[in-house]
Amino acid sequence: MNALTSLFFPAEDDLDTRLRTVVRNTAPQWPLKSFIAVNPFMAMGGKDFAEAAVEIARTRGARLVPDVSLPEALPTLADAAGQAGGRPVAAFVTERISQWAAGYYDQGQAVWGNPWRDLPPFAAWRAEARIDRAPELWGMPGFRAMVAGLPGDPVAAAEDLLRTLNLPEAVEALYLQRLFGTVGGWAALLRHRDWSAMLAGGSDDGPRDLLVIRLAWDVLVARALTDEATINRWRAAICAAPPAVTPDLSGLEAREGRWRDALLRTLAQPAPDMPAPAVQAVFCIDVRSEPFRHALEQAWPAIETSGFAGFFGLPVTVLGVSGVRQPACPPLVRPHALVCEALPGTRDSLQPLRAAIDGLKRTGASALGYVESFGLGAAGSLIASGLGVKSARRAPDAALSIAAASAGPEAQARASLAAGLLKGAGLRQPRAALVVLVGHEGQSRNNPHAAGLHCGACGGRSGAVNARAAAMILNDPEVRAILKAQEGIDIPGKTWFAAAVHNTTTDELRLLDAEHIPGHLNGEKAAFEKAAATAGASVRRLRSPALGEAPTLKAFRGRAADPSQVRPEWGLAGCAGFIAAPRRLTRGKTLGGRIFLHSYEWGADDGFAVLEQILTAPVIVASWINLQYFASAAAPDVFGAGNKVLHNVVGGNLGVLEGNGGDLRLGLPMQSISDGQTLRHEALRLSVIVAAPTSAIDGVLSRHRSVRDLVENRWIHLFAMDDDGRVTARRTAAGWQAVA
Amino acid sequence: MPLPDPAEICLGLAAFQAVAHLAAGITGQYRPDHAVMRRLSAGLALSGFGVATGAVIAAALGADVHALGFRLDGMGAALLALVMIVGGAVLRFSVNYLEGDPRHAAFLAGLHLTLVTVVAFVLSATLWTFALAWVAMSLALHRLLVFYPDRPGARLAAAKKFGLARLSDAALLSAFGLLYHATGTDDIAGIVARTHGAGADVSVAAAAVLLVVAALLKSAQFPAHGWLVEVMETPTPVSALLHAGVVNAGGVLLLRFAGVLTSNSAAPWLLAAVALVSVAVGSLAMMTQTSVKAALAWSTVAQMGFMLLQCALGAFGAALFHILAHAAYKANAFLSAGTVRDATGTGLGRAAPWRALAAAAVVALGLAGGGYLPAGGLVTFLAGMGVLVQLDLRRPATAIAALAIVGGLAFCGHFAAAGLLSEGAAAASPALAVLAIGSMTLLCGLQVLARAMPQSPPVAALQVHLRNGFYINTWLNRSARP
């Protein structure tokens, strides 16, 4: 987690550093193609939840808890000017900055793009603002000249602008934070670029420049639209000491407690006996795996499931058949191996012609001809969608090859990945001859946020590729030889690792590369597939009322293939708990699909290395998901993406706008959180339950401040469970307390 | 017993379908039961395809029947089929798309009511029915545009649309008054027949100009386009219905009154001038947009411009075909606007074919100037010029194949659609043809320039102004209050 710490806290104390400190308080948001869950408050872990809620209310205008005592958002100069003139000045400023950012960062929507993309962001903005007539036509005379008068260097410009405002330092930091929040969507997207740059050892000026641009707008708007008296009144208002409030969290605590008490009672039920398994199946810890695992074990008790992060420990980038490279691992990990997909034998001689014709609709003059020639062809799709005909063609699985990892001989590198996976997933000695690694994927059409239904641990992609790659590595005789020689991990020759993918939208489970499974496992394979089909049917029955869908496979497949469906599935809505424990303590218990379920056996964990890994990676990622849902449910206007029926994809794949414009939208759409009448995700903080000695847990917390902060500052709740499934103690800032 | 005329059956089916839509619309408005409405809408989408099938058969058999101020002729049948297909797709899409919205039933009801007005519009045979449907269509759509009345952007765009639509109503009603006065009949076909060759009549000439004004306002031509690129504040299916259906009303008007338009020389010039500006601004602005829906909306401005240009040049068959093809394309594009593509990179790519374009323009000018190009051929040629600029001529086989396919398909379409009209094409005025070819060459040239030197100061400045649609909306919005 040291990487995480260094992502936030730079050292020196000049203005540039202060600006960068402000922007790093904003959490990143990934673009749509890799739309993974991020904790919107990740940089505030060092503050207590209640204290942060006050700060978020002041700088973002969002109320995380329903408490009237939370303060109003700080006014910006644009707010003050708007109030004085009775005009939507702040909205206009956000709109203009959003327009500029969409053009400058566009990833392929505009064929005639922003001409200044080669310049740094601030310089590019300044060049454009000296041409753009919009502010003046909207009623801000002399705006272009004022922009031209700003220094060309962003930090120098910020220095000039701030000097005219003459704010005390503490107020200035809050003010800048508030400004950044008014363009919070773009701020988060640019922070993602910064994040990627920092993982690679660099940094990106985009967020800082965006802040300076917003600052310039604020000051120039005030100059153009208001007088000195208004500015003075504003200064007095922003400098006034805020009333000291401590928001009341008791309601939130009570809701969390009610849900958790029921969970603890379920967990405390006696554990059933577990027979020796015929098949072991490793699922992702995603909350949608839990009901399926339960149903699978019910369908065939000789299956033993376990939970592990769905990227199976492979820090890989996937080079897809489309030629696009995309990381397929969690955001905290820097990918270093490459998995290449290839479709064998599909060279298409008509491809260039098809591409040429398709390109015609992208430029204005040629689109006229395109429409006359091919436009009528679209009537076919219209008729099909009008009749409700849905095609769910699935592309054939591509062949995979794994390119060399960064260090050491290739087989050696693979063996070390394999060792990490086997230890982390508790598979040092597989108990069954067939071990199935199950990745997961969502299925939806015409859905800008489709990646959010895929596996977050795989970078918002289907987990199928990671599962297949992991199985390939583990079945490799050369890898197994190295594992035996160097790690003392002896995998029996008859043991086979198979890959599979769990479609969380239809609850179908499909074995991948099944033709490679050796003949002696045919019986297990057939029985496993049968059990998976039974399990799918029973999970669909569970899910059907909440979706308002008939519990048949046909209905669920239709839903997944429906381009007008705004709720293909409920995703991770409802997520509220994380359990790291042996499966025997949770097996056979109905947990309601709200738990991230990680397998962990502390007795087999040498030096608690696996515990450390669980608390610093999967728990963090689960808390990111939980807090993303929390924020989108509690403050949908600020941290939610709005109404899907109004979404307008911007910049190719950067994100969505709601309606005509405004800021880039953050977080999850209303339809992912609510059924229109009631919230389907109740905003609860994650309760983490770990079956390990409290001393061992404390050992990890003492070494990892970021995790300790999350616990002690009440962003997550942490509990310890004993070997019988009883939760015995709770960790707070004051240490461990017994749980009655 | 003689078999009933298929056209009569089709007109009856259309009437039945319209009444069903009306009933569904009223039901949803006053008895909003979501489950019932969803089933009704899906059912009417389905029955609409039956009507569409009938309409296609009727069009193929050369239908022409009248009843009660409505008429099903070739053009009416083709447009009826289009409305049923687009309307069916939009309804079916909305059944699931707005699920959970507390006003889902009201939304579906709004779609049904709008469809009633559109069906009435495309089948209108008299001044009365036409004008009534024209106004009703705009009012029905207005309710859908402010479906989320708490969104200031929605109110603003709808208010602009409302104002322009009333101006357009005024132009239309004045034109109709003049035509009724000049011909003494309210039957549209009768009016067209009686005004044939009546170019000297001042009131007919004035009516032609007023018809053009009404069409330009209705079809969102520059600079009255502002609302069209701002209506993303309402659910996607409304955009699909608007861009594929209602915005074509201006074109349908001019096709119905084609004879009046050609009887006069000022009206086509006005039409061509505004349409050409709209083609140029719309085409170029579309290329600079950063969001999917804004690009689609600007593209509609250009496509409507091209369709109206075809009317101005007398290529009425081509214009009808353009309406059909563009509607299908655009409805589908909006309904699938949520699909995110892989990042494709930006920019127009390689240097462009200056010489090929110049050669094509010279040939076209020669042919048009010599009077050898019929209107249908001329507009195919204009569309082909744009295609030529975009193709990569370093792969000649691919480029030639693409050009041949595009040109061939478009020409066949024009030819087929012309067969549906009583007046498929009129001779294009050579001077207008030269203007059109010159403007299209200029547009293609600007596109080449944008590709070749995007960073030169005037080109860069043009990019900014175009991206902002020459600030017309900014200027109109300046007095908006929160």
CB A345 within 8 A of CB B280: no
Contact B287 A371 (CB under 8 A): no
Q: Is B4 on the interface with A (CB under 8 A)?
A: no
pLDDT in tens, A674-695: 998 899 999 999 999 999 999 9
Q: Is B154 on the interface with A (CB under 8 A)?
A: yes
What pLDDT was estimated at residue B266? 84
Contact A137 B235 (CB under 8 A): no
Contact B338 A448 (CB under 8 A): yes
What pLDDT was estimated at residue A391? 66
What pLDDT was estimated at residue A394? 64
pLDDT band at A11 (very low <50, low <70, confident <90, very high): very low
Residue B264, pLDDT > 90, answer no
Number of helices (H), then strands (E), belonging to chain A: the values are: 29, 19
| Average pLDDT score over residue span A202-211 | 94
How distant is the Cα of B266 from the closest Cα of chain A, in angstroms? 26
DSSP code string of A572-625:
TTT--EEEEE-GGGTTT---TT-EEEEE--GGG-GGGHHHHHHHHTHHHHHHHH
CB B305 within 8 A of CB B60: no
Residue A10, pLDDT > 50, answer no
Q: Is A144 on the interface with B (CB under 8 A)?
A: no
Contact A364 B299 (CB under 8 A): yes
Which residue out of B103, B290, B322, B446 would a mutagenesis test of the A interface target, given it has the greatest number of A Cβ atoms within 10 Å? B290
B291: closest chain A residue by CA: A650
A387: closest chain B residue by CA: B46
Q: Which of A110, A450, A651 sits opposite B287 (nearest CB)?
A: A110
Contact B340 A450 (CB under 8 A): yes
Q: Is A498 on the interface with B (CB under 8 A)?
A: no
pLDDT band at B346 (very low <50, low <70, confident <90, very high): very low
Contact B346 A107 (CB under 8 A): yes
Q: How far apart are CA B197 and CA A335, in angstroms?
A: 76
Contact B230 A99 (CB under 8 A): no
Contact B288 A113 (CB under 8 A): yes
pLDDT band at A533 (very low <50, low <70, confident <90, very high): very high
What pLDDT was estimated at residue A404? 55
Contact A659 B92 (CB under 8 A): no
* Cα dihedral B150, B153, B158, B163 in deg (nearest 10): 120
Task: Tell me the residues of chain B between 320 and 379 that have a Cβ less than 8 Å away from chain A.
Answer: 321-322, 324-333, 335-348
Contact A364 B282 (CB under 8 A): yes
| Average pLDDT score over residue span A575-586 | 94
Q: How far apart are CA B221 and CA B216, in angstroms?
A: 5
Task: Tell me the residues of chain A between 518 and 547 that have a Cβ less than 8 Å away from chain B.
Answer: none
What pLDDT was estimated at residue B294? 93
Residues of A in contact with B238 (CB under 8 A): none
Residue entry with tokens 């250009």: B302
Q: How far apart are CA A476 and CA A460, in angstroms?
A: 27
| Average pLDDT score over residue span A650-675 | 93
Residues of B in contact with A82 (CB under 8 A): 482
How distant is the Cα of A519 from the closest Cα of chain B, in angstroms? 40
B305: closest chain A residue by CA: A368
Task: Tell me the residues of chain B between 46 and 65 that have a Cβ less than 8 Å away from chain A.
Answer: 46, 48-49
Greatest alpha-carbon span in chain A:
86
pLDDT in tens, A438-475: 999 999 999 999 999 999 888 898 899 899 989 988 99
How distant is the Cα of A690 from the closest Cα of chain B, in angstroms? 38
Task: Tell me the residues of chain B between 408 and 437 that have a Cβ less than 8 Å away from chain A.
Answer: 408-410, 413-414
Q: Is B381 on the interface with A (CB under 8 A)?
A: no
Q: Is A447 on the interface with B (CB under 8 A)?
A: yes
Q: What percent of chain B has pLDDT over 90?
A: 36
Contact A352 B398 (CB under 8 A): yes
Please list the helix, strand and coil fractions of chain B in percent, rounded to the nearest 5, in that order. 75, 0, 20
Q: Which of A359, A369, A657 sits opposite B384 (nearest CB)?
A: A369
Q: What's the half-sphere exposure (Cβ side, CA atoms, 13 Å) at B9?
A: 15
How distant is the Cα of B285 from the closest Cα of chain A, in angstroms? 8
Q: What is the DSSP letter of A525?
A: H
Residue B387: is it exposed, middle or buried by C-beta count within 10 angstroms (0-12/13-18/19+)?
buried
Which residue out of B390, B446, B471 would a mutagenesis test of the A interface target, given it has the greatest number of A Cβ atoms within 10 Å? B390
CB A115 within 8 A of CB A103: no
Q: Is A141 on the interface with B (CB under 8 A)?
A: no
pLDDT in tens, A384-427: 887 777 665 666 677 777 765 444 567 888 888 899 899 888 88
Mean pLDDT, all residues of chain A: 89
* CB < 8 Å & 24+ apart, contacts of A167-176: A167/A235, A167/A238, A167/A239, A168/A239, A171/A238, A171/A239, A173/A18, A173/A21, A173/A22, A174/A58, A174/A59, A174/A74, A175/A74, A175/A76, A175/A238, A176/A18, A176/A19, A176/A22, A176/A211, A176/A215
What pLDDT was estimated at residue B301? 93
Residues of B in contact with A649 (CB under 8 A): 291-292, 337-338, 340
Residue B181, pLDDT > 90, answer no
Q: Which residue spans within A628-734 are E strands per DSSP?
A: 640-642, 647-650, 655-658, 668-669, 687-690, 717-721, 727-732
Residue B176, pLDDT > 80, answer yes
pLDDT in tens, A15-48: 999 999 999 999 999 999 899 999 999 999 999 9
What pLDDT was estimated at residue B348? 45
Q: Which of A370, A376, A676 sits opposite B406 (nearest CB)?
A: A370
CB A209 within 8 A of CB A105: no
Instruction: Give the closest residue to B128 by CA, choosing from B70, B168, B83.
Output: B70
Q: How many Cβ contacts (< 8 angstroms) between chains A and B?
A: 349
Contact A379 B395 (CB under 8 A): no
**What residues are paired with A438 via a beta bridge?**
A283, A500
ipTM reported for the complex, 2 dp: 0.90
What pLDDT was estimated at residue A658? 94
Residue A5, pLDDT > 60, answer no
Residue A321, pLDDT > 80, answer no
Contact B95 A649 (CB under 8 A): no
Residue A1, pLDDT > 60, answer no
| Average pLDDT score over residue span A596-602 | 94
Contact A645 B100 (CB under 8 A): no
| Average pLDDT score over residue span B57-66 | 81
How distant is the Cα of A417 from the closest Cα of chain B, in angstroms? 29
What pLDDT was estimated at residue B369? 64
Contact A113 B85 (CB under 8 A): no
Q: How far apart are CA B251 and CA B257, in angstroms?
A: 10
pLDDT in tens, B92-134: 999 999 998 989 999 999 999 999 999 999 999 999 999 999 9
More confident residue, B443 or A612: A612
Residue A730, pLDDT > 70, answer yes
| Average pLDDT score over residue span B283-299 | 92
Q: Which of A108, A386, A446 sits opposite B45 (nearest CB)?
A: A386
Q: Is A306 on the interface with B (CB under 8 A)?
A: no
| Average pLDDT score over residue span B446-469 | 88
Which residue out of A133, A348, A447, A564 would a mutagenesis test of the B interface target, given it has the greatest number of B Cβ atoms within 10 Å? A564
B151: closest chain A residue by CA: A659
Contact A356 B402 (CB under 8 A): yes
Residue A186, pLDDT > 60, answer yes
What pLDDT was estimated at residue A316? 83
Contact B474 A137 (CB under 8 A): yes
| Average pLDDT score over residue span A48-67 | 91
Highest mean pLDDT (candidates A78-87, A555-564, A686-695): A686-695
Instruction: Report the predicted TM-score, pTM, of the whole model to 2 decimal places.
Output: 0.92
What pLDDT was estimated at residue B2? 60
Mean pLDDT, all residues of chain B: 85
